[in-house]
């Protein structure tokens, strides 16, 4: 039986590239989506499940994990990819903007990890990949302070997963890419110029690589920057 991965935000952009890569490598996928029709682009209906998932809904994680286990009987990996970015700093943005980023970028991954962890432990080689950012490693002028805060929190959460479930073979990685050429940064002033950005397919390859490693080759963080910076 193929290994089973849960992937949030798998309908477009980086998530779609990750889904396409994993399906091509024989994985079965449970995709948490707001638009279930997005799952049809990957083919393999026997190996791709679409489950309604709203990252802001406190009950969505429980329902999604239950649906995946009912369909496939196991969970081998969780890829927390869904995320949003709004400009929130000390002069711009609102409390609601900050709360929305916290809900999607931090609380939703936390809930999913908590629900999926018992199933990941059972496999003896469960994997959690949290799509963080170089903004999880430092603050750079022009970046959304709120976004950077949430990605720092996601990095800390990754470390907590490693501590909590290491003895059961669960390994967790915070994948910290620089600018990826997706809609997330399409209108961000000061972002890495388009020709210099990572492609979604490149980052999907990193996810594939991390999932292929044995327990003895644990990678706590994988940073792939698009610019030279002394701090990372």
Widest distance between CA atoms in the chain: 53
Burial class (CB in 10 A: 0-12, 13-18, 19+), 155: buried
Q: Which of 147, 181, 182, 192 is catalytic?
A: 147
Contact 152, 198 (CB under 8 A): no
| H-type alpha helices, the chain | 13-24, 60-72, 95-102, 108-123, 145-165, 200-212
CA-CA distance, 52 to 35, in Å (whole number)? 7
What tokens were used for 219? 């990678």
What tokens were used for 55? 């990252």
Would you call 139 a catalytic residue per the annotation? no
For the chain, report the end-to-end CA distance as a whole number of angstroms: 40
- For residue 180, what is the DSSP state? B
Rounded to 10 degrees, the C-alpha dihedral 37/41/45/51 comes to -40
Q: Which residues are catalytic?
A: 147
């Amino acid at each position: 039986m193929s290994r089973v991965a849960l992937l949030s935000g798998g309908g477009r952009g980086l998530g779609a590239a990750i889904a396409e890569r994993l399906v091509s490598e024989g994985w079965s996928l449970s995709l948490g989506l707001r638009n279930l029709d997005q799952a049809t682009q990957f083919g393999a209906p026997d190996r791709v499940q679409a489950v309604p998932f709203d990252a802001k809904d406190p009950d969505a994680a429980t329902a999604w994990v239950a649906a995946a286990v009912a369909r496939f009987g196991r969970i081998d990996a969780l890829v927390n990819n869904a995320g949003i970015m709004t400009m929130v700093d000390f002069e711009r943005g609102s409390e609601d903007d900050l709360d929305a980023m916290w809900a999607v970028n931090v609380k939703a991954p936390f809930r999913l990890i908590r629900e999926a962890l018992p199933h990941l432990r059972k496999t003896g080689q469960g994997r959690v990949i949290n799509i963080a950012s170089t903004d999880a490693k430092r603050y750079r002028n022009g970046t959304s302070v709120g976004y950077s805060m949430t990605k720092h929190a996601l990095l800390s959460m990754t470390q907590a997963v490693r501590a909590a479930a290491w003895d059961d073979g669960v390994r967790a990685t915070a994948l910290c890419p620089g600018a990826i050429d997706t809609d997330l940064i399409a209108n961000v002033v000061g972002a890495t110029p388009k020709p210099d950005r990572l492609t979604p397919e490149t980052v999907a390859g990193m996810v594939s690589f991390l999932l292929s490693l044995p327990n003895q080759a644990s990678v706590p963080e994988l940073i792939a920057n698009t610019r030279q910076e002394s701090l990372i």
